[in-house]
Amino acid sequence: MSRALLKFVRVSPIKSRLIAREVQGMNAELALAALEFMPNKAAGIISKVIASAVANGDYEPEEVTITSCRVDKAAVMKRWRPRARGTASRIIKPTAHILVEVGVASDSIEAATKKTTAKKAAAKKTESKKSAAKKTETAKSKTTAKEETKKVESKKAETKKPAPKAPAKTDAKGDDLTKIAGIGKVYAGKLNDEGIFTYADVVNMTQKQIDTMEEKYTFKGDFKDAIADAKNFVNGKDA
C-alpha cells in the first residue's frame, strides 16, 4: 500500500468530495481515465494525487485499486469586498487536504508476483549466460595458452635435436696394401674406395681398372711394378 497527500489545495472540499466518492474503490487505471473527461477543477487535482500515490509504491496503474480517497477541510482565507453605504461583505476562499491511498488488489497480487518472479528468472538467465560466456572465454584462453606453450616446446625440442650422425665407415677386412712398393696410406685408401682390399685383388686388376686408377689418381712410378710386388706377396715371396 502507498499513499499521497496534497495540502492546502485552493479548491472547495465540498465540491471535491463529490469526485472523491466516485473514484473510491475503482481501479487506478480506470479512475485516471474517468477523471480525464470530468470538467470539474477537483478532477484534475485528484488525478494527479492518484498518479503520485501509484508512483510512490512503484506500481503500475492496472495493478492497484484506490482504497481511500479523502478530502479534508483546510484553512479558510477571508477577504472583504466593499458594498453600498460604506459597508463591506466577506469573501470566503476555502482550501482542502486531499489524501489518496492505493493498494494491490487480490487478483493483481498473483500477477505482480508472477512479474517479479519472471524478472528474477530473466535476471538469473542473463547472469548464467554471462558466467557461461566467461567460462568459455577462459577455457579458450587456456587452450590457446597450452597450444602456444606446446609450439614453443616443440620449437625448443627441434633446436635441441642433435645433428644426424654420419654413418660410420666400416673398415673392410683385407691385406695391408701399404706394404706394396709405391703404395702409401692415401693410395691404399683410394684402392679400398674402388673395392680393392687384398693383394690378390691388386694382382687380378684388369687393364681398364689400372687405366681408370691412373686417370683418377696420380701414381708415382709405374703401377705394373706395384702389381708385380703384390704377386710376390701372394706367392709367399715376402721380402
**29-68 pLDDT, tens per residue?**
999 999 999 999 999 999 999 999 999 999 999 999 999 9
Q: Is the pLDDT of residue 111 over 70?
A: no
Instruction: Tell me, yes or no, whether 142 lies in a domain.
Output: no
pLDDT at res. 97: 98
Cα 216 off chain centre by: 73
CATH of the domain at 70: 3.90.470.10
**Beta-strand (E) ranges in the chain?**
2-9, 64-82, 88-104
Same domain flag for 102 and 186: no
Instruction: Tell me, yes or no, whether 151 lies in a domain.
Output: no
Closest CA to 94 of 16, 17, 10: 10
Instruction: Tell me, yes or no, whether 141 lies in a domain.
Output: no
Instruction: Tell me, yes or no, whether 135 lies in a domain.
Output: no
Rounded distance, CA 110 to CA 29, Å?
18
Instruction: Tell me, yes or no, whether 228 lies in a domain.
Output: yes
pLDDT at res. 32: 96
Instruction: Tell me, yes or no, whether 119 lies in a domain.
Output: no
Instruction: Tell me, yes or no, whether 198 lies in a domain.
Output: yes
**What is the average per-residue pLDDT within 5-19?**
96
What's the chain's length in residues? 239
pLDDT at res. 18: 95
What confidence category does residue 168 fall into, taking pLDDT thresholds of 50, 70 and 90?
Answer: very low
Domain of residue 65 covers 2-82+89-108
What confidence category does residue 114 fall into, taking pLDDT thresholds of 50, 70 and 90?
Answer: confident
Q: Which helix (H) or strand (E) holds 121?
A: helix 106-160
Q: Report the first-to-last Cα separation within the chain, whole angstroms.
A: 135
Number of compact structural domains in the chain:
2
pTM listed for this prediction: 0.45
What confidence category does residue 172 fall into, taking pLDDT thresholds of 50, 70 and 90?
Answer: very low
Instruction: Tell me, yes or no, whether 154 lies in a domain.
Output: no
pLDDT at res. 167: 42
**185-209 pLDDT, tens per residue?**
777 777 777 777 787 877 777 777 7
88-104/64-82 β-pairing: antiparallel
Given the C-alpha cell 587452450, which residue does it identify? Answer: 143
